[in-house]
């Protein structure tokens, strides 16, 4: 398959021609052409890179690097100029061997300790541990060595923004800022739809390309008048007695509240509806329940509905074992917090997720779920650990069950 791309914008061409600093960063909104611009610059660099050291390409994981970058390169260059060996973690590009590295945690820096690196391409740099980025720069010791990287915006207190981008005048650094409207190759209808699908924090970061704080309510698009419906009325209007499919999710707690949710949908796709909730707060009730008692409650909760899947936080090992003893096949939920929140936000914004009017605990949490202001000062996006049990359950359910289907439906890729 040949790579197809329309004419580059003047900003893209400028970034390719002017990325001659020791550190070169492309930052800004999603689908803004920053990635293709950086890849072209990397291809040019590899052909003429110094030979007295190694070349590396880094992503949060090898898998995300392949999907986001390597697969594009494979389509751009001639087949004889590119080969990726997943077993050895090496790419051969224009005859040069390039090490492929995942930087998912602090241990990643050990992969490059002691290496002499002449060039590095980095994908999603803001998702790397700061220690790895610092180590990477220290290994770029050969004259003419360079770093090329891309990132989406994050908190303005994030280390990449505060310690590098904001110090542009002090460092041997070039920064190229892109917005969605800089990519003239996108279909205008797609652009318009994408702008509608992001709201609040996500719109500011991923459409406008701004480094802004996650401030206030997490689900600021939640509207009780829109998202809270009578599910029996929805079924009646569709001429159905039940949904075509059901699945269940649980956020398990002993000292903290324990909640289950029963979800229904038709035709194998969205929209999805929370049909009913179970919520038990041991502190409020004055008595803790055992795994066995919760499993009894779970079975009663799902009785009468043939669920196609059961999702539980994978950390709830003892509860998963107890359910397994009763013949319930549990899938560990995807607990990627930020991407899960973005996904639920998208479904709410697109009116693809609704909650029955009887689910009062869930509705209260959507209205009261807020970002952690103290964590923001450290450059970390995370919600407060309060009033989060039902929204966590929904995140497990919706992100685990529908995300891969949704990427095809909406064209999203959050990895």
Q: Output the CA–CA distances (angstroms, integers) from residue 372 to 158, 237, 394, in the order listed.
A: 15, 41, 20
Q: Sheet holding 228-229: strands in order across?
A: 228-229, 353-356, 272-280, 258-265, 245-251, 307-312, 331-332
- Residue 97: is its pLDDT beyond 60? yes
pLDDT tens, 254-290?
Answer: 888 999 999 999 987 889 999 999 999 988 888 899 9
Phi, psi of 247 (to 5 degrees): -145, 165
305-328 per-position pLDDT tens digit: 999 999 999 899 999 999 999 999
pLDDT at residue 378 tops 90: no
Q: What is the rounded average pLDDT of the residues 65-93?
A: 94
pLDDT (tens digit, 9 = 90+) per residue, 152-180? 998 888 999 999 999 999 999 999 999 88
pLDDT given for residue 185 in this prediction: 83
| Domain limits, the chain | 10-186, 224-410
DSSP 106-149: GGGGGGTTT--EEEEEESSGGGS-HHHHHHHHHH--STT-EEEE
Question: Is 90 exceeded by the pLDDT of residue 16?
Answer: yes
Per-residue pLDDT, 320? 96
Q: What's the confidence (pLDDT) of residue 407? A: 47
Asked if pLDDT for residue 204 goes beyond 60, the answer is yes
Class level of CATH domain 10-186? alpha beta
pLDDT category of residue 6 using cuts at 50, 70 and 90: low
Among 1-5, 82-86, 228-232, the range scoring the smallest mean pLDDT is 1-5
- Domains 10-186 and 224-410 in one fold: no
User: pLDDT value at position 303?
Assistant: 95
CA atoms within 13 A on the CB side of 82: 14
The CATH number of the structural domain formed by 224-410 is 3.30.420.280
User: Which carries the bigger pLDDT value, residue 109 or residue 44?
Assistant: 44
Residue 355 confidence (pLDDT) above 90: yes
Judge whether residue 181 has pLDDT over 60. yes
Q: Residue 114 region, left (φ>0) first, then alpha (ψ -120 to 50), else beta?
A: left
What number is the average pLDDT over the span 9-32? 94
How much is the pLDDT for 109? 87
Q: Which are the contacts of 19, defined by CB distance < 8 A and separation ≥ 6?
A: 38, 41, 148, 174, 176
Q: How far apart are alpha carbons 9 and 7 in whole angstroms?
A: 7
* pLDDT the model gives residue 2: 43
Q: Phi, psi (5° rounding) for residue 299?
A: -65, -40
Residues 106 and 62: beta-carbon distance below 8 Å: no
Quote the pLDDT of residue 299.
97
* Higher per-residue pLDDT: 125 or 199: 125
Using DSSP's 3-state secondary structure scheme, residue 204 falls into helix
**Residue 394 — very low, low, confident or very high, per pLDDT cuts 50/70/90?**
very high
What is the structure's pLDDT at 280?
95
Encoded tokens for 348: 């709410």
Q: Quick one: pLDDT at residue 5?
A: 58
Q: In which band, very low, low, confident or very high, does the pLDDT at 3 lie, cut at 50, 70 and 90?
A: very low
What integer is the mean pLDDT of 175-199?
86
How do residues 114-148 score in pLDDT, each as one tens digit?
Answer: 899 999 999 999 999 999 999 999 999 999 999 99
Do 297 and 342 contact (CB within 8 A), yes or no?
no
pLDDT at 91 over 50: yes
DSSP conformational letter for 89: T
């Amino acid at each position: 398959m040949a790579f197809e791309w329309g004419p580059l914008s003047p900003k893209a061409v400028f970034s390719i021609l002017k990325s001659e600093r020791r550190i070169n960063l492309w930052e800004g909104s999603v689908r803004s052409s920053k990635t293709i611009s950086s890849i072209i610059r990397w291809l040019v660099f590899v052909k003429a890179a110094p030979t007295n050291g190694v070349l590396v390409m880094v992503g949060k994981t090898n898998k995300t690097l392949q999907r986001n970058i390597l697969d594009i390169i494979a389509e751009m260059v001639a087949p004889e100029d590119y080969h990726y060996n997943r077993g050895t973690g090496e790419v051969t590009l224009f005859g040069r061997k390039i090490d492929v590295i995942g930087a998912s945690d602090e241990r990643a820096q050990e992969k490059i300790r002691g290496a002499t690196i002449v060039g590095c391409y980095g994908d999603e740099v803001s998702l790397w541990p700061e220690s790895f980025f610092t180590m990477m720069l220290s290994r770029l010791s050969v004259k003419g060595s360079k770093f090329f990287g891309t990132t989406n915006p994050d908190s303005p207190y994030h280390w990449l923004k505060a310690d590098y981008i904001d110090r542009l005048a002090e460092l041997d650094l070039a920064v190229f800022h892109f917005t969605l409207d800089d990519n003239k190759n996108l279909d205008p209808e797609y652009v318009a739809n994408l702008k509608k699908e992001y709201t609040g924090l996500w719109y500011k970061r991923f459409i406008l390309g701004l480094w802004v704080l996650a401030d206030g309510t997490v689900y600021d698009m939640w509207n009780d008048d829109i998202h809270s419906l009578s599910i029996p009325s929805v079924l009646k209007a569709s001429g159905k007695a039940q949904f075509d499919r059901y699945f269940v999710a649980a956020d398990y707690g002993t000292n903290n509240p324990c909640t289950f949710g029963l979800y229904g949908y038709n035709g194998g796709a969205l929209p999805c509806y929370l049909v009913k909730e179970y919520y038990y707060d041991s502190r409020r009730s004055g008595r803790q329940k055992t795994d066995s008692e919760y499993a009894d409650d779970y079975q009663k909760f799902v009785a009468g509905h043939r669920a196609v899947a059961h999702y539980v936080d994978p950390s709830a090992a003892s509860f998963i074992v107890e359910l397994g003893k009763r013949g319930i096949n549990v899938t560990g939920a995807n607990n990627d917090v930020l991407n899960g929140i973005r996904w639920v936000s998208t479904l709410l914004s697109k009116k693809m997720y609704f909650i029955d009017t009887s689910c009062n605990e869930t509705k209260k949490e959507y209205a009261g779920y807020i970002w952690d202001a103290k964590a923001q000062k450290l450059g970390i996006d995370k919600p407060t650990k309060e009033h989060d049990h039902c929204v966590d359950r929904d995140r497990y359910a919706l992100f685990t069950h529908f995300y891969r289907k949704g990427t095809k439906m909406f064209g999203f890729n959050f990895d």
